[in-house]
Every structure is written in C-alpha cells, then in structure tokens.
Amino acid sequence: MPRTNPSLARPRIAVVGIGHLGKHHMRLLRDLDCDLVGVADPSEEARKFAADTYGLTTHADFRQLADVVDAVSVVVPTTLHRDVGTFFLERGVDVLVEKPIARSVADGQALVDAARANDRILAVGHVERFNPALRGIEGIGKAARYIESHRLAPFSFRSTDIGVVLDLMIHDLDLVLALVQSDIKSIEAFGGAVFTPAEDMASAIIKFDNGAVAHLTANRVALKPMRKMRVFSKEGYVSLDFQNAQGMVVRKAPGWDFEQLDMESLDRAQMGDLWKFVFDGLLQVENLQLDAGNPLRDELAEFLTCVRERTQPTVSGEEGVRAVAAAERVLAVIAANRWQ
C-alpha cells in the first residue's frame, strides 16, 4: 500500500511561470484536489491576469513561495528549469517541471540529484504519455520494429530559447524511448536554422540495440500543424493522428498464418470481397479515441497523487534526463552536418 501523508490531503501548490502553458496549469489546478495558494511570474501583466481572473495571490519572485507550498508546477523557460527546480527541491518542496526537464543532461541530472538528496517527488511534464490512445498501443509499441513520427507546427515565437529538437522532437524521443525500451545504438540526423539562431527543423533516424528503428521529423516553421505517429511490429501496426484526434490499431487475428493461405483459390478480381476477407477474417481493426479526456489535467492530477502518497510519477526525473540525453545526441550529429 502507498504511504499516504495525512498532512497533504490537500497539498498546497503554486504555479511558477504563467505564460501560455502556465495559464492552463493554473486553470486546471483550481479544480483539482489541492489548494492553489499562489503563482509567481516576473510579468506584471501575467500577475494581474491571475489576480483578476482567479483571485490568486501573486509574486514577482518565485522564492517568496518557498514557505507556503508543498509542491510547485514549474512552467518557466527551459533555461531556468535547473535554478527554479533545485531551489524548491532543496527546501523540501515536490516539483513538476515542464518538458524538457532541462536544457542539458548536466542540468537535468542536477534536478534528479536534488530530488534524491531531499527525498522529494520530481515529475516531468511529457504530457503525451497521458494520452489515452497510447495505452491501446502499449503491446505493439514494446515490440516495435519501426516507428515514424512527424511533429510540425507553425512558428509561434514561443520556446525560442531552445531549438526544435528540445522544443518539439523531445515529445517523440520520450515516447519512442518509453515504447522501445532499448538503448540507442546509432543516430543519423540533419537539421538547420530558418528563423531563429537554433535549429527550426530536424530529422533523425535512431537505431536501437534490439533492432528497432525510429524516424523522427520535427519542424516549427511549417504552414500547418501536424502530429502523427505510426508504429509497426510483427503483431500489427498503429496509426495515430493527434492533430485530428484519429487513431487506428490493426492486429493479426488469432491463428493468423499467411503461409497456410490458399492464395490460388482467392478471386482477387473481387476487391470488395477480398477487402472483407482480409479485414473481417484475417486482421482485427480497432479505432482509437484520441480526444477523450484531458491529458494535461491527468498529468497534474497524477502529480498531486504522487505528492500525497509518495509514489513515483509516470515520467520520472530519470526518464526526463534520458530524453534530453537522446536529444543531445541528435543535436551533436546535426552540428556535425551544419548548414553552410
């Protein structure tokens, strides 16, 4: 049984950073089983919004929250994650830090070390892990042989302190590492800057020790958004379209044995009958609901449960560091192939 802390039946929590994403954290936490005691942000406009809209106590300096919270949600620019996160961890406060955990492995590991030294919860906000559709592909994902993803977005002027690998591709790096569960063998990658000093588009082919291959593409200067992933294994394949909330799993039916099929007896001219024969008799097709629930709300609710019951989050600090380590390897290869 988990060890529940009775004094944290309703944890006191604050949001540090209430920009575009932080506003959603603030809004959702108000309706969860916690006491949202305040927010911190250097922007006077952001603080006024929080005070006027939700009646919250606001602070320009996050350090003013240290003595009034049990936990914080850190939604500041990535370059500040280490400083803000370690400040709270070293003062006995549990931390949820938005993805990526930090700008570098060294900074991420500093957060992990601080959490361990102070026996604190450290969760990382890889919100895609909370999409209900992913639970439906877990079996195929762990046996994946080839994964293909495209994550494209129009230029938003946000997260310009990092490039597209840490901004967008990090989502799919985390998902692929969680699905494949094998060490990276090699990486081929290419990318370059378009609008910002950092890379704005990147493509990577990642090969794993267990033979799986992932081909990831990220672009933050696209004309239209796209968030698609396909996963292939010996058991079937999955197609996910997060942008349009559509998904499908195709699995082999029980007893599938292609070599035992009498191909000569099939009248392939009757395409309608052949389609019915294959998809009703040989394959099982399941449509996935990708827009069910609220992944960010579920992520925040789980963090509060971890705070109360001292349990490990779905995405631990160690997993956050692992995703950044993969991103650093991708970036190193991109740097070696830098545009002239």
In a domain, 215, yes or no: no
Length of the chain measured in residues: 340
> Tokens 């990090």 map to which residue?
170
| Average of per-residue pLDDT across 155-169 | 84
In a domain, 206, yes or no: no
When divided into structural domains, the chain yields a total of: 2
Is 61 in the same domain as 104? yes
**322 lies in a domain?**
no
**In a domain? residue 76:** yes
Residue 340 lies in a domain: no
Give yes or no for a contact between 194 and 201, defined as CB atoms under 8 angstroms apart: yes
Domain co-membership, 39 together with 16: yes
Reported as a single tens digit per residue, the pLDDT across 299-339 is 999 999 999 999 999 999 999 999 999 999 999 999 998 76
| Phi, psi angles (nearest 5°) of residue 31 | -105, 5
Place of tokens 């395409």: 271
Reported confidence tier of residue 3, pLDDT bands at 50, 70, 90: very low
pTM of the predicted structure, to 2 decimals = 0.87
Same domain, 67 and 113: yes
Domain that holds residue 274: 246-289
Count Cβ atoms below 10 Å from residue 260 Cβ, excluding itself: 7
Cα 149 from Cα 215, distance rounded (Å) = 6
Choice between 142 and 167, residue whose per-residue pLDDT is larger: 167
Mean pLDDT score of the chain, rounded to an integer?
88
| pLDDT 10s digits, 32-52 | 999 999 999 999 999 999 999
39 in any annotated domain: yes
The reported pLDDT for the residue numbered 193 is 87
Give the CATH number for residue 122: 3.40.50.720
Secondary structure element (H or E) that encloses residue 217, with its range: strand 213-219
Q: Tokens 């003595």 appear where?
A: 67
Domain presence at residue 269: yes
Residues 279 and 309 in one domain: no
Residues 303 and 263 in one domain: no
In a domain, 150, yes or no: no
d(CA 81, CA 87): 10
